[in-house]
């Protein structure tokens, strides 16, 4: 699963790198956890590529209970077309989740799990594949939420964890965001191992309240 990630690239740089028509402001975050409200890239009805603030934890539009979002932080690529919570969003409401990297926890016999930071060797942002939804609360307010799609681990990830986020290559961003395109299944694969690297980091990151650039520094 993907339970934490990092985004420190500023709004102006995201606009340039992702070719956005508009973006919301945000500050750097080094320990983004479920329920956080963060930038998510979508295609508008007018065909523009925009970044808005959405809450992490998908609430399907048919749900009666918003607490379901706490259980729907991730969607497994292998069952995304079958699960009622995801299949409609997969067809019509795909999104990109900008991230500089993500964390995963490795099992260590006899010890607490060891967190690792995984990112692109280029230090450029990655685009995690996701789904988004609009849900209307009892007072009529619109609540927009999202989840991260996960797939089997790449060679880099396998020693750490069996799952990793789907990462959409730059030349496929337009296709992924277009609700009229359905030829996206091949994108739900592990990302190219050669362009990624990982290192162990402080166990401080295991506490959702921890924040700061030092969280992504490699253990000495």
Q: Is 2 a catalytic residue?
A: yes
Q: Report the C-alpha gap between 32 and 54 in whole angstroms.
A: 13
> Which helix (H) or strand (E) segment is 177 a member of?
helix 173-177
Q: Catalytic pick from 10, 13, 78, 104?
A: 104
Q: Is 104 a catalytic residue?
A: yes
Does residue 147 sit in helix, strand or coil? Answer: strand
Cα separations (Å) of 200 from 2, 32, 178, 196, 216?
16, 17, 36, 14, 9
**CB-based contact 30:6 (threshold 8 Å):** yes
Q: Which parts of the chain are beta strand (E)?
A: 4-7, 22-23, 29-32, 37-43, 49-56, 74-76, 94-99, 101-106, 114-120, 126-136, 142-152, 163-165, 196-200
- Token look-up 């292998």 returns 78
Burial class (CB in 10 A: 0-12, 13-18, 19+), 8: middle
Q: Catalytic pick from 2, 95, 133, 147?
A: 2
Q: CA nearest 4: which of 196, 217, 215, 219?
A: 215
Q: Report the C-alpha gap between 16 and 34 in whole angstroms.
A: 27
Q: Which residues are catalytic?
A: 2, 104
């Amino acid at each position: 699963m993907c339970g934490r990630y990092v985004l420190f690239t500023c709004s102006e740089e995201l606009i340039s790198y992702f070719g956005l028509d508009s973006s919301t402001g945000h500050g750097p975050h080094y320990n983004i956890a479920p329920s956080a409200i963060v930038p998510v890239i979508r295609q508008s009805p007018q065909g523009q590529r925009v970044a808005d603030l959405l809450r992490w934890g998908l609430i399907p539009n048919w749900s009666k209970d918003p607490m379901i979002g706490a259980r729907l932080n991730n969607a497994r690529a292998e069952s995304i077309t079958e699960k009622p919570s995801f299949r409609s969003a997969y067809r019509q409401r795909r999104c990109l989740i900008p991230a500089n990297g993500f964390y995963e926890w490795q099992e260590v016999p006899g010890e607490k799990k060891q967190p690792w930071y995984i990112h692109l060797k280029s230090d450029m942002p990655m685009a995690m594949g996701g789904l988004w939804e609009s849900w209307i609360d009892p007072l009529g307010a619109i609540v927009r939420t999202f989840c991260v799609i996960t797939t089997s681990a790449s060679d880099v990830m396998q020693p750490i964890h069996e799952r990793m986020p789907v990462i959409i290559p730059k030349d496929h961003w337009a296709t992924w965001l277009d609700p009229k395109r359905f030829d996206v299944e091949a994108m739900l694969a592990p990302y190219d191992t050669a362009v990624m690297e990982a290192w162990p980091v402080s166990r401080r990151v295991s506490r959702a309240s921890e924040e700061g650039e030092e969280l992504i520094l490699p253990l000495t």
